[in-house]
């Protein structure tokens, strides 16, 4: 079965960067895009970015464009999301999610990133 | 970006009674005869789970008390008889236009 397993919780200081990983299993990694979506405490789902694991092409929300970098390691079936210049408003749970035909059919368990001085 | 507007944002429901959530998009979600409108459920403390894709197609394992309908810019998720396990947040999401966008979420609770 499809599984997306994310890295563990992180605590970062303002101005720092964080990298979250998402390891895929149960399917051919390069055959499906991966989205990154975040959810601030008590808030809704906010789409951040997407990667095509086959060719590495990425797209990101204008809201995060200058601060978010999405990469992948096909040999490890893993995608990475790096967010820089962290501020307190970036405190959120970050999810990776598999893209299937303009939809999302599977989600990772989420990674809590806390930004605090 | 396409704006997805859900209503209501809070939905108290008596067990066994029906529930309905509306989702409206700022643009038509039709593309090449397909409409990429999805519904997700997020139970407390869990990741979202897709319930419905392309307006009305139920995912495997989703109880048939959940149904989706609509067209163009107006969509509805209906629960025929609410059960205790249905408590949580419900989101619509469009995948027709880039970037994908979500509704604000509807919180379903038991009265």
Tell me: the pLDDT tens digits for A8-30?
999 999 999 999 999 999 999 99
Q: How far is A15 from chain B (nearest CA, A)?
A: 27
Average pLDDT of chain A to the nearest whole number: 97
Tell me: the pLDDT tens digits for A36-66?
999 999 999 999 999 999 999 999 999 987 8
Q: What is the dihedral of CA B99, B58, B105, B92, to 10 degrees?
A: 30
As a whole number of angstroms, the distance between CA B108 and CA B111 comes to: 9
Which of A50, A59, A107 comes nearest B47 by C-beta?
A107
Looking at residue A64, what is its pLDDT?
A: 87
Looking at residue B76, what is its pLDDT?
A: 98
pLDDT along chain B (111 residues), means of 10: 98 98 98 97 97 98 98 98 98 97 98 95
Looking at residue A39, what is its pLDDT?
A: 98
B88 - beta bridge partners?
A: B108
Q: Which of A3, A22, A34, A45 is the best mutation test for B, with the most CBs of B within 10 A? A: A45
């Amino acid at each position: 079965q499809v599984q997306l397993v994310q890295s563990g919780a992180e605590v970062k200081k303002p101005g720092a960067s964080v990298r979250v990983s998402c390891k895929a299993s149960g399917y051919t990694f390069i055959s499906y895009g991966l989205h990154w979506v975040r959810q601030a405490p008590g808030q809704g789902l906010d789409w951040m970015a997407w990667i095509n694991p086959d060719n590495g092409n990425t797209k990101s929300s204008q809201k995060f464009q200058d601060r978010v970098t999405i990469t992948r390691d096909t040999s490890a079936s893993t995608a990475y999301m790096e967010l820089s210049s962290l501020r307190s408003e970036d405190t959120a749970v970050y999810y990776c999610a598999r893209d299937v035909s303009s939809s999302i059919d599977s989600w990772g368990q989420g990674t809590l990133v806390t930004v605090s001085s | 970006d396409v704006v997805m507007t859900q209503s209501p944002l809070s939905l108290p429901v008596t067990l066994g009674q029906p529930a309905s959530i509306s989702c409206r998009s700022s643009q038509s979600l039709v593309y090449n005869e397909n409409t990429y409108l999805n519904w997700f459920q997020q139970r407390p403390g869990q990741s979202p789970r897709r319930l419905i894709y392309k307006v009305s197609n139920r995912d495997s394992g989703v109880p048939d008390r959940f149904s989706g309908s609509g067209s163009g810019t107006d969509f509805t998720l209906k629960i025929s008889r609410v059960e205790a396990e249905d408590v949580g947040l419900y989101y619509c999401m469009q995948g027709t236009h880039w970037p994908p966008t979500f509704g604000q979420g509807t919180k379903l609770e038991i009265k």
